[in-house]
Amino acid sequence: MSTTKPRGPYAKGAERREQIVQTATDVFATEGFEGTALKRVAELVGVKEATLFHYFTGKQELLTAVLAERDRRGRELGSAGENGLAALVPVAERNRGAPGLTTLYAVASATANDPGHASHGYFQDRYARLVEELAADIGHKQQSGEVRSDVAAESLARLVIAAFDGLQLQWLYDKNVDMAQGLGELIGVLLAPQAS
């Protein structure tokens, strides 16, 4: 039997993959996900449709890659290893500048509830990880007395993440809603040192 040596993606392939994700991000954000045919993405990249299927099993998986990439960039906004609270407001501000992508995320996070949806696992993991990370950050601040400790860190984390998603939804319906300010107010009140 012949031994197969997996070499991983060539540099060119990795680049092409990124290019596809970037193009798909733009076109999904401007023309919608359902409304966009993969053929359109392929044209803009300058490859045949079949090439897309080489990198992604299907349209849904490409969507997952687009969402994951957006997520990854969001993490970079939390400057220097800040995985917790400090990253939230910058991400909200970025999202304000990208309503199309934000809609894409909001729709996907709701529809991927169906266990049969290709992004179901992605969102399940994402929320679990977000809660875990934020709860850890909050837990440290509770021990140092920066944050009230009469409510469990995980509960506080879930509430902050929930408010983030919910404010985003309200903003999508009314662009006068100030997500960053709302989050700031929540953090100021909810995560203040204990009162009594």
Q: Which residues from 11-30 bind DNA, rule CB under 7 A?
A: 11-14, 16
Rounded least distance, CB 161 to a second copy, Å: 7
Which H or E run contains 75?
A: helix 59-77
Rounded least distance, CB 80 to a second copy, Å: 27
Q: Which residue has the tokens 């400090």?
A: 86
Please, what sign has the CA dihedral across residues 186, 188, 189, 190? positive
Q: Which residues from 44-63 bind DNA, rule CB under 7 A?
A: 47-51, 53-54, 57-60
Rounded least distance, CB 126 to a second copy, Å: 9
Comparing CA positions, the residue from 81, 69, 1, 79 lying closest to residue 29 is 69
Q: Which of 103, 133, 146, 149 binds a second copy (CB under 8 A)?
A: 103
Q: Which of 17, 94, 96, 158 binds a second copy (CB under 8 A)?
A: 158
Size of the site for DNA (CB under 7 A): 28
Reduce the DSSP state of residue 14 to 3 states and report it.
helix
Distance CA(4)–CA(31), nearest Å, equals: 42
Is 7 near DNA (CB under 7 A)? Answer: yes
Contact range with DNA by CB under 7 A, out of 6-14, 22-30, 90-98, 126-134:
6-14
Distance CA(149)–CA(20), nearest Å, equals: 46
Helix axes 59-77, 120-143, angle to 10 degrees: 20
Q: Name the binder of 136 from DNA, a second copy, none, CB < 5-8 A by kind.
A: none
